[in-house]
Each structure stands twice: as C-alpha cells, then as structure tokens.
Amino acid sequence: MLRRHLATCLATALIAFSVPALAQTTPAPLVKEAKVAAPKRILFIGNSLMYYSGGLQTHLHRMAGAGSPPIDLKDGYKSVHITGANLTNYPIDFLVKPGNVGVKEPFELVVFASNSLDASSEQGKTTYLQKTAEWVKIIRAVGAEPVLYWLPATVKPHPLAGSDLGAKTEEMMLKAANENNVLVVPVALAFREAYRQRPDIKLQVYDGNHPTVAGQYLAAATAYATFYKQSPVGNPYDYFGALDADTKAFVQKIANDTVKSFFGR
C-alpha cells in the first residue's frame, strides 16, 4: 500500500514538473515558407556573426549551386555587414533601393539579423521590435520580401552562456515574425539541437558567440532548406574540404530536421 502511494506521488510530481517544460515549446511561425519559390536575388544584412567563417551568403550560394537540381544564382547574392551592429546602424532605405549595391533589379528577399544581445535588455528588445516593423515596411515598399535571421544562443565561455538570453531571444524573434507576418530562419533551433545531440561539437569559436566553419555551414544549410525547400542532406559542398564528412553529414541532417519540424513540412 505504501509502495503504491509512493508511486502515485512520484507520478504526480513528474507530471507537475513536466508541465512548465511543455509550456516553453517554441510558438509556431505563421509564415511557413518564402514567398518566392527559388529566390536568386537575396540581400543579407548583419554583423560579424553572419560573415564569420566564410560567410553565410557564400556558403549558401555554393550549397545552392551544388544542390540537386543546382540553382544558378550568378551574382544575385549581396551582403552588407557592420561589426557589432544592430538594426539602428544600417541605412536600410539606401541598401534596398535597386542598383545601389550592385543589383539592378529589386531583391526578392532581404535577410537581416540584428545583435545577439538585443534581448538582454528591455530597451534592446523594444528597439529590435520597432526597427523590424519599420524595416518590413521599407523592404516591402521596394518589392522585396523581408526575412528574419534568428541568431544562435551564446555558449561557454561567453559571460551570458547559460542565462535566459536564449529564451528571451526566442520570444522576441517569434513575436517579431508573427506580428509582421514574415518568415524567420530558425538557425538558433538548429544550433540548439546539434548541441543536444553532440554536446562536444564545436559550432562557435573561442568567444562562445561567433560561428566556426561547421556552425556557419549549419546556418547556411538551415537557410537553404528554409528558402529552397530542398534537403541539404547529401549536398557535396564541403567548403573545399574544410569540413570533414562526418560533421558535414551531421549538420546537414540537423538543418533539414529542424526546418521540417519548425515549419511542419
């Protein structure tokens, strides 16, 4: 009788413990896919987290060209980066105007990231949400479609590793995406899942923030699956041998699984 009572108490405790965990699941994004089926003109805007270790746009460009079927992008990808910047630092009106950054036609997508620490303060979060709403209107006014780029959480030895910054950023990103009816690239979720499955994988460098080659490749694979609705699994591009076969296969699968799960594809 006592044993049955203890078992009942334990089951009740486990249920009570599990409820908050379930409540913290990522909200569903309202926009599930890019409004352009196979975008060839994309502008990338973001700080060093986007251009580090070969650059997001470089890896994505080469991955798309190596895909099956390959996507001929020519010179339609452009990127603009300011070290340590957030959205207040970029002349967005100038950047998205056709012809100003070397592409005569309007961009089809404008993918932008802010600063990884934006959600660490109420002022930073408020500014991000306000500027995102402003950028969305400006980008759509020139015939392009805005896309939010969700930066991964910091890890050790970064001083904010293990804090609630990741959860705050998640809330901020999904709020911005759903309130403005825009697509968000779930890079942070791909990093999170990769670390969960392989805690010893190196996706960020010595500062616990900037991506390694494997991390930037994972980000590009996530963007590839998001924009082109093609699986990166089996893609032969490996940054000219810089990424070993095992790591490449692992991050490709993580990217594909993350995108399928996040968008319900």
CATH number at residue 204: 3.40.50.1110
- Domain that includes residue 170, residue range: 37-263
Q: Where are the alpha helices (DSSP H) in 81-147?
A: 92-96, 122-141
Domain count for the chain: 1
What residues form DSSP beta bridges with 78? 43
| Residue 17 within any structural domain of the chain | no
Q: What is the side-by-side strand order in the sheet with 42-45?
A: 77-80, 42-45, 109-112, 145-149, 183-185
| Residue 171 within any structural domain of the chain | yes
The torsion defined by the Cα of 207, 194, 56 and 91, in degrees rounded to 10, comes to -70
- Taking 60 as the threshold, does the pLDDT of residue 13 lie above it? no
Rounded average pLDDT over 127-138: 98
Taking only the tens place, the pLDDT of each residue in 183-222 is 999 999 999 999 999 999 999 999 999 999 999 999 999 9
Q: Determine the Cα angle at 101 with ends 97 and 103, to 5°.
A: 80
What residues form DSSP beta bridges with 146? 110
| Residue 54 within any structural domain of the chain | yes
| Residue 11 within any structural domain of the chain | no
The model's pTM: 0.90
Provide the pLDDT for residue 18: 30
Provide the pLDDT for residue 10: 37
DSSP H/E element including 78: strand 77-80
